[in-house]
Chain A
Amino acid sequence: MDIKQLEQIKDTTFKNVGNRFTHAQLDGMNFDRQVLVCCSTGCSSESSQKIRERLAKLVEEKGLKRVHVGGTGCFGLCAAGPVVVVYPDGTFYSHVKPEDADEIVESHLVNNVEVQRLLYVDADGKTKPINEIESYCKQMRHALRNCGVIDPENIDEYIAREGYFALYKALTQMTRDEVVDVVTESGLRGRGGAGFLTGRKWKFTKDATGDKKYVCCNADEGDPGAFMDRSVLEGDPHCVVEAMAIAAYAVGADQGYVYVRAEYPIAVERLQKAIDQARAYGLLGNNIFGTDFCFDLEIRLGAGAFVCGEETALMTSIEGHRGEPRPRPPFPAQKGLFGKPTLLNNVETYANVAQIVLHGAESYNTIGTERSKGTKVFALGGKINNTGLVEIPMGTSLKEIIYDIGGGIPNGKAFKAAQTGGPSGGCIPASLQDIPIDYESLSAIGSMMGSGGLIVLDEDNCMVDIAKFYLQFTVDESCGKCTPCRIGTRRLYEMLCKVTEGKATLEDLDKMEELCYYIKDNSLCGLGQSAPNPVLSTLKYFREEYLAHVVEHRCPAGVCKSLLKYVIDAEKCKGCTLCARNCPANAISGTVKQPHQIDADKCLKCGICASKCRFGAISKM
């Protein structure tokens, strides 16, 4: 591959896909219309592959030679999935089913009439093109620039979007120091959560001496509720391949590993395809672009251990051992994988690199806040209308994310808290919703940026229960190497159980807090050091909820089962016996046409009776 061939592929492919990048009809294109179907995990699990096949088949049968049907990565609005977008019109179809393909082809593609019933309805009740949908207006797609735009399984489409031009520029026009410098000046910080300055990490690895160096990519996205890295790998795998090659050149490595969760089959498959295609084009392998730079890349699958997202544990796992962390120093930059200097970055961090190298540090460091540059991808989940993937400039407020982009809380419920950073992060109460999202602001209030999971909680969620949920997660996932984490998280979890069962005392709350700081201060790795964060942040912002459990033996949100009681309203009960017949514990008694009663001692609090009752006579208190 040389630059002429690369330019040629770019120009040729642009004629096929150019219409997708603008909302205007361009001259000289091979297709007038682009029909794009989201083929990422979310939409695929609702048959989007079938939609794509059906559309392609119908388009061929109808002889629509000026229409191109393609699959892409995530558009972001997962709650509206499966999503089909038609360019250049920008028509956004939501909740599409395979059988809808016929109508889309006949009406929209043949007769030029949009299928009204499938159009996405925005918050204001109007239907509009994708670029005007409110949720997208406040977003800035940088790391996700190709997601939902190109076919991730086609390297040519990536090249049409300036793909591998950054690698060419780095290898032929920049020294290794210049590459490190531009990444440093861009202000890019690690997107895995800790926020270490990426350029500095690159420089440490470059300056380390060693006969062999490695670059690694952390795609072991283990936070429950987070799917940013998966979406990048599914929607734009080449951007990671290219960035890793650039990083390898900068630090002096010739071998790379991507450590990715085995639970992400589509991401793994597309990444493998991307690596194979890049190899076939000579963009991986020996003497890339005719230089003496050689680099190859291998995928290593994780096997379901959260701790392997910690950098030293990840490398231990690649080496084929139990994924237990090692003490630092020595840092990976000095002594990492197989004892050699190693650079390790997260998927989203890499996803920003090629554009920075190609367009300069200013293209990036002019976005964001003073100390947190650029954009951040978040996976919005939980009690929010627009569940999905969003990318915002650093400094956007939590409120804007939840209401303007996320579309607010469903069913008219009140926003209670947002959880960022997964099991390592904390809960941000609704009262702090105006804080800007950046590294400093989030850690100042006891949460953290984390990798980008953002779970929204409403009034029906119990904060003690949420803290308990995360603790159970860390108890399960603690690798067991160091005592404060292995035993400490278990004791902390037991204390939380006491609270949710109404058996804790006020003294227990103080003990819990003390234990939290003990675990934080004495654990070996990030998992243990951050495990108490969900407890500390809820104790800080929702202490009254803890007190309600402890002092009043009451769960204000009605979640903690031990403190719940199901009762039958004798006035409303018609004595139909349905509840008694469905109770798995035989806890309900009563005769036909007479009000029934629940035996609180036998009751399992499963809630089946309440869901079966047709008269709304059963309620929980």
Chain B
Amino acid sequence: MMKGSNLPFNGTTEQEAQLRQKLNELRSKDGALMPAMQFAQELYGYLPYEVQLIISEELGVSLSDVYGVATFYSQFSLYPKGKYRIGICLGTACYVKGSQDIYDRLQQLLGIKSGECTADRLFSLDATRCVGCCGMSPVMTVNDDVYGRIKPDDVEGILAKYRERG
């Protein structure tokens, strides 16, 4: 049995049509599987069983190969992401400046681990590798917002800001 999200799949027919069209374009390309999965992930936000099945059918790649690729690369997710995607950098530069403490605080406050999403689908948490702005370390990101030089005590206030927005 494929490991995946227990939250229901709610993809639309428009999304499926878009995906099938893209897969049609990619079919003749060498090594089309990854670009196809990247497109699908962008479209749905994650790669549930239903989407992997479409990719497998359209590209003529076995479902186990699709699943194998999906679980190999950290960018592909079998779980949905929250409205606010929190990333905490555990790259070396951030780590030596205490990002583990910030990550611990986030897990404690949200009650979820890396890769998971809160039940209200508001926040998801990912411990990331270096995001590349080591000059601002330690760094935390919420969607496209970047918070640099933060301390564990700043976390609660940052989360509150997004909770308020709903």
Residues 569-621 of A at the B interface (beta carbon under 8 Å) = 584, 606-608, 611
B31 CB within 8 Å of chain A: yes
Is the C-beta of B54 less than 8 angstroms from some C-beta in chain A?
no
Q: Which of B107-166 contact A (CB under 8 A)?
A: 108, 128-137, 146, 148, 151-153
In the complex, the answer to whether A46 meets B148 with C-beta atoms within 8 Å is yes
Stretch of A170-178, A271-279, A356-364, A453-461 with 4 or more beta carbons under 8 angstroms from chain B: A453-461
Contact among A305, A322, A387 for B93, CB-based, below 8 A? A387
Binary contact track B14-49/A, C-beta < 8 Å → 1, others 0? 000000000000000011111101100000000000
Contact yes or no, A381 B74, CB < 8 A: no
The CB with the most chain A CB atoms within 10 A, among B65, B132, B152, is that of: B132
List A residues 280-306 near B (Cβ within 8 Å): 300-306
Q: When the two chains form their complex, are residues A304 and B75 in contact, meaning their CB atoms are under 8 A apart? A: yes
Q: Is A203 an interface residue (CB 8 A)?
A: no
Chain B interface: which of A10-18, A126-134, A224-232, A501-509? A224-232
Interface contact B92-A303, CB-CB below 8 Å: no
Closest A residue, CB atoms, query B100: A469
Given contacts A225-B93, A304-B73, is CB(A611)–CB(B134) below 8 Å? no
A382 and B152 within 8 A (CB): no
Of the candidates B68, B74, B134, B136, the one having the most CB atoms from chain A within 10 angstroms of its own CB is B134
B9 to chain A, nearest CB (A): 22
Inter-subunit contact B130/A225 (CB<8 Å): yes
Interface centre among B31, B32, B97, B128 (most CB of A within 10 A): B31
A524 lies within 8 A of chain B by Cβ: no
Q: Annotate B83-111 by CB proximity to A: 1 below 8 A, 0 otherwise.
A: 00000001111011100010011001000
- The chain B residue with its CB closest to the CB of A255 is B30
B132 lies within 8 A of A264 (CB): yes
Number of contacts between A and B (CB, 8 Å)?
133
A479-B92 contact in complex given A301-B38, A319-B31, C-beta closer than 8 Å: no
Count of chain B residues with a beta carbon within 8 Å of a chain A beta carbon: 43
- The answer to whether B91 and A224 have CB atoms under 8 Å apart is yes
User: Contact mask A221-254 → B, CB, 8 Å, 1/0?
Assistant: 0111111001000000000000000000000000
Is A338 an interface position by the 8 A CB rule?
Answer: yes
Are A419's CB and B135's CB within 8 A?
no
Closest to A40 in B: B132
Residues of A contacting B61 in the complex (Cβ-Cβ under 8 angstroms): 320
Cross-chain contact B133 with A303 (CB below 8 angstroms): no
Q: In the complex, are the beta carbons of B74 and A45 less than 8 A apart?
A: no
- In the complex, the answer to whether B33 meets A455 with C-beta atoms within 8 Å is no
Bound form: Cα–Cα A222–B91 in Å? 10
Contact A608 B133 (CB under 8 A): no
Q: How far is B76's CA from A303's CA once the two chains are assembled, in angstroms? A: 7
- Residues of chain A with a CB closer than 8 A to B65's CB: 321
- CB-CB < 8 A to A606: which residues of B? 101, 104-105, 152
Task: Please judge, given known A-B contacts A225-B130, A382-B96, A584-B108, whether A303 and B75 are in contact too, CB under 8 Å.
Answer: yes
Q: Please, which residues of chain A bring their CB within 8 A of the CB of B135?
A: 42, 78-79, 81, 387-388
Query: Is A190 located at the chain interface by the 8 A CB criterion?
Result: no
Asked if A336 CB lies within 8 Å of chain B CBs, one says: no
Given contacts A419-B92, A455-B92, A611-B153, contact A303 B134 (CB under 8 A): no
Among A264, A455, A584, the most chain B Cβ lie within 10 Å of the Cβ of: A455
Cα–Cα distance between A387 and B73 once the two chains are bound (Å): 30
Residue A51 CB within 8 A of the other chain: no
Chain B residues whose CB sits within 8 angstroms of the CB of A321 once the complex forms = 33, 65, 68-69
* Distance in angstroms between the alpha carbons of A469 and B130 in the assembled complex: 13
Residue numbers in A under 8 Å from B90 (CB-CB):
224
- Bound complex: CA A78 to CA B93 (Å): 13
A578 to B135, CA, bound (A): 33
**Beta-carbon nearest neighbor of A42 in chain B:** B133
- Which residues does chain A contribute within 8 Å of B32, judged by CB atoms? 320
Given A225-B134, A317-B34, A305:B92 Cβ within 8 A:
no
The reply to whether B92 and A381 contact each other, CB–CB distance below 8 Å, is: yes
Which partner residue on chain A sits nearest B69 by CB separation? A322
Q: How far, in angstroms, from A264 to B132 measured CA to CA in the complex?
A: 8
Contact B72 A322 (CB under 8 A): yes
A323 adjacent to chain B (CB < 8 Å): yes
- Given contacts A46-B148, A303-B34, A303-B74, is CB(A461)–CB(B134) below 8 Å? no
- Of all chain B residues, the one with the shortest Cβ separation from A386 is B135
Give residues of chain A (450-508) contacting chain B, Cβ–Cβ below 8 Å: 453, 455, 457, 461, 466, 469, 479
Name the distance in Å between A135's Cβ and chain B's nearest Cβ. 13
Residue picked from B93, B95, B105, B146, most chain A C-beta under 10 Å: B93
User: Given contacts A224-B129, A303-B34, A303-B74, could you give 6 more A-B pairs where the C-beta distance is less than 8 Å?
Assistant: A262-B75, A320-B34, A322-B69, A383-B96, A455-B92, A584-B108
Binding site for B on A (CB under 8 A): 41-42, 45-46, 78-79, 81, 222-227, 230, 262-264, 300-306, 317-323, 338, 379, 381-383, 387-388, 419, 422, 453, 455, 457, 461, 466, 469, 479, 584, 606-608, 611
